[in-house]
Amino acid sequence: MSAKTQLPAYKRQADMMADIMRRHEGQKGVIHTASWRHAELVVELLRHTGRMMLAKGARLETIQKFREAPKGTVAVSPSWDHGLNFEGDAARFTIVSKVPFMNYGDPIVRLRLKAKGGRTWYDNDACLRVVQACGRIVRSVDDWGFSYILDNNWSRVSKHAPEWFKVQQL
């Protein structure tokens, strides 16, 4: 979805998230958003589930709050896509609401994107960020989890994913 997406599109996406959450009743999960505004909207649209936690504030405190939250809690954040370890039952599913492309408004990003190989560089970075986000919940060979990518842009950037990163389209 683009920045120009209207509320009805966000509501449809929230409905998909609610369906996924029903599949994972009693399991903790993480929803990765593109911005705090989007995270707040997701929490508001899914408040009726009674499972939502906006992961905003002091990072370590928020992570601890999620770890101590009841089973079934779903944390929503645009900044939990790297550097976190939710092994085992700490989180069993993750939802990537939007492929996290670099900011096109950044003049350096715009210049690199226009250079030879720029689109490959741009898409590869976005793909790596998705793989990183999904990797927050599967931390060892014996660990397992489910990742859902709700952005249609994934079909374009997924060719840059590592061979071991298998995706099944639903």
Question: 61: domain range?
Answer: 7-152
Whole-number Cα distances in Å, 157 to 4, 149, 170: 21, 12, 17
Do residues 94 and 29 touch, judged by C-beta distance below 8 A?
A: yes
Does residue 8 surpass a pLDDT of 80? yes
The model's pTM = 0.91
**164 found inside a domain:** no
User: What's the pLDDT at 83?
Assistant: 86
Distance, in Å, from the CA atom of 90 to the CA atom of 75, rounded to the nearest integer, reads 11
Structural domains in the chain (count): 1
**97 found inside a domain:** yes
Mean of pLDDT values over 16-20: 97
pLDDT digits (tens, 9 = 90+) for 79-138: 998 889 999 999 999 999 999 999 999 999 999 999 999 999 999 999 999 999 999 999
Confidence of residue 44 (pLDDT cuts 50, 70, 90): very high
- Which amino acid is it at 55? A
**162 found inside a domain:** no
**59 found inside a domain:** yes
**71 found inside a domain:** yes
- Which amino acid is it at 48? H
Cβ atoms within 10 A of the Cβ of 70, count?
Answer: 9
Grouping H, G, I as helix, E, B as strand and the rest as coil, residue 127 is: helix
Whole-number Cα distances in Å, 101 to 25, 104, 159: 30, 8, 15
CATH code assigned at 100: 3.40.50.300
**147 found inside a domain:** yes
Does residue 158 surpass a pLDDT of 90? yes
Arithmetic mean of pLDDT over the chain: 93
**96 found inside a domain:** yes
CA-nearest of 29, 24, 8, 59 to 137 is 29
User: What's the pLDDT at 1?
Assistant: 52
